[in-house]
Amino acid sequence: MVHPKILLIVGGGIAAYKSCELVRLIRKAGGEVTCVLTEGGAKFVTAMTLAALSENPVHTTLWDLKNEVEMGHIQLSRQADLVVVCPATADLLAKMAAGIADDLATTLLLATDKPVLAVPAMNVRMWQHAATRRNVATLRASEVTVLDPDEGAMACGEYGPGRLPEPPAIMTAIARMGIQPAPGPLTGRHVLITAGPTHEAIDPVRYIANRSSGKQGFAIAQAAAAAGARVTLVAGPVILSTPAGVTRIDVESAREMASAVEAALPADIAVMVAAVADWRVAGTADHKIKKDGSGAVPPLQLVENPDILAELCRSSRRPSLVVGFAAETEQVVAHAQAKLARKGADWIVANDVSGDVMGGEANTVHIVTPAGVESLNEMPKALVAAALVERMADALA
């Protein structure tokens, strides 16, 4: 669908600020946005901000005579291809489920004949309350798409499900509803991503592993898919759900990962985020290694694993843009610069993993290229992913 029209209803929650980023992403992807700001939403973002980002008038009240004469509120709800409620507060979800229409937003939601996507954000207890669960079930049964909120630390200081999904994930959900804003910046491109740790077997029950959670790589896969790319995600053992629209290949060891990468070529962009084990055990035991009672420890002989990134860079089927990651605990940028040359990558994205980056929600990265170093502020991994994908698309353009 070329230039889909999205009616965005911004509810009253702290996550409303993320709706501004959503407007920007929809616009960037070629969509048109008209915003409706609830009274609560206006406590968190201004109509001016949304008007400037959407380049459209923002509607706030049912009782605006000028708007009503130029375009009745029913028409406003009908001319959209999709209605997105973001953030969908507990109150908005309850009113939607009950069919209450006591302001412009809820009236439009009741009057619309178009698909509706609700993106909830609220305190964890409010999300888990039986009333909200009932309302969500009612809405889903009546074909409103209600996303699950993200889990994590909340503005109110509590922890759990209730955070607004990141804007790139909302874009993916919009695409999944068949509203693919006109070609994204990576439409027609194949992006190959590795993510997570590898497990190197010692014997049938033991393995060598590392603390990689796979979150950063999965976030990049999601952002690349939202940008229109065909995405192949080669994932080590992680407990993460596959982002919508992404082809996932599960592997365990470095050697399996290397084969899966090879098999997925050709690609336009490769992003090697996996924390591949540098070494594996020479001669994995066929049976569980047993203590022999003497106190002697089994000799574990290690051999080096294939360097997937370096081999890809040397390959005749090298993607046009190859991005490596560097997990460092000291001299982050200097080590990344050395790695850039040694591996033959175009960029190395360096991150300091001395804190709780591995497994954590946020990341601080430095993009090291032969042209210089760009350091990004600490931000959620989804935003790091969006920033990287934006730069990758620019680099290929």
Catalytic positions are 156
Closest contact distance (angstroms) between CB of 326 and ligand CTP is: 4
The Cα 53–Cα 207 span in angstroms is 51
Quote the least distance from Cβ 309 to ligand CTP, whole Å.
3
Q: How far is CA 275 from CA 20, 26, 233, in A?
A: 34, 33, 14
Q: Is 307 in the site for ligand CTP (CB under 6 A)?
A: yes
CB of 289 to ligand CTP, least distance (A): 25
Report yes or no: 138 and 44 within 8 Å, Cβ to Cβ. no
Write out the binding residues for ligand CTP, residues 169-228 only, by CB under 6 A. Answer: 194
- The tally of CA atoms less than 13 A away on the side-chain side of residue 356 is 4
Asked if 253 interacts with ligand CTP (CB under 6 A), we say no
Binding residue for ligand CTP, selected from 7, 325, 351, 357, defined by CB under 6 A: 325
Question: What is the token pair recorded at 256?
Answer: 């399996």
DSSP assigned state of 358: T
Which residues, including other chains, have CB under 8 Å from residue 65's CB and lie 6 or more apart? none
Tell me the window of 20-28, 120-128, 323-331, 379-387 that interacts with ligand CTP (CB under 6 A).
323-331
Tell me the longest C-alpha to C-alpha distance in the chain.
91
Instruction: Report the C-alpha gap between 97 and 109 in whole angstroms.
Output: 10
Give the interface segment with ligand CTP, choosing from 22-30, 110-118, 307-315, 360-368 (CB under 6 A).
307-315
Q: Which stretch binds ligand CTP (CB under 6 A): 17-25, 31-39, 291-299, 325-333?
A: 325-333
Instruction: Compute the distance between CA of residue 185 and CA of residue 189 in angstroms, rounded to an integer.
Output: 9
Nearer to ligand CTP, 88 or 308 (CB): 308
Residue found under tokens 């090298």: 318
Rounded distance between C-alpha atoms, residue 236 and residue 258, angstroms: 11
* Count of residues engaged in binding ligand CTP, rule: CB under 6 A: 15
Report the residue number, 79 or 331, with the smaller CB distance to ligand CTP.
331
Binding segment toward ligand CTP, per CB under 6 A, in 122-130, 138-146, 286-294, 322-330:
322-330
- Minimum CB distance to ligand CTP, residue 253 (Å): 11
CA distance 116 to 395: 35
Task: Please report whether residue 254 would count as binding ligand CTP according to CB under 6 A.
Answer: yes
User: Distance between CA atoms of 287 and 220, rounded to whole angstroms?
Assistant: 38
Residue ranges in 331-390 that form contacts with ligand CTP under rule CB under 6 A: 339
Smallest gap from residue 186 Cβ to ligand CTP (A): 20
Q: Does 326 bind ligand CTP (CB under 6 A)?
A: yes
Is residue 168 close enough to count as binding ligand CTP by CB under 6 A? no
For residues 364 and 1, give the distance between their C-alpha atoms in angstroms, rounded to a whole number: 36
From the list 69-77, 107-115, 140-148, 300-308, the region that binds ligand CTP by CB under 6 A is 300-308
For residue 183, what are the CA distances in angstroms to 7, 179, 186, 190, 227?
20, 11, 8, 14, 8
The residues of the shown chain that bind ligand CTP, judged by CB under 6 A, are 194, 254, 272, 274, 276, 278, 305, 307-309, 324-327, 339
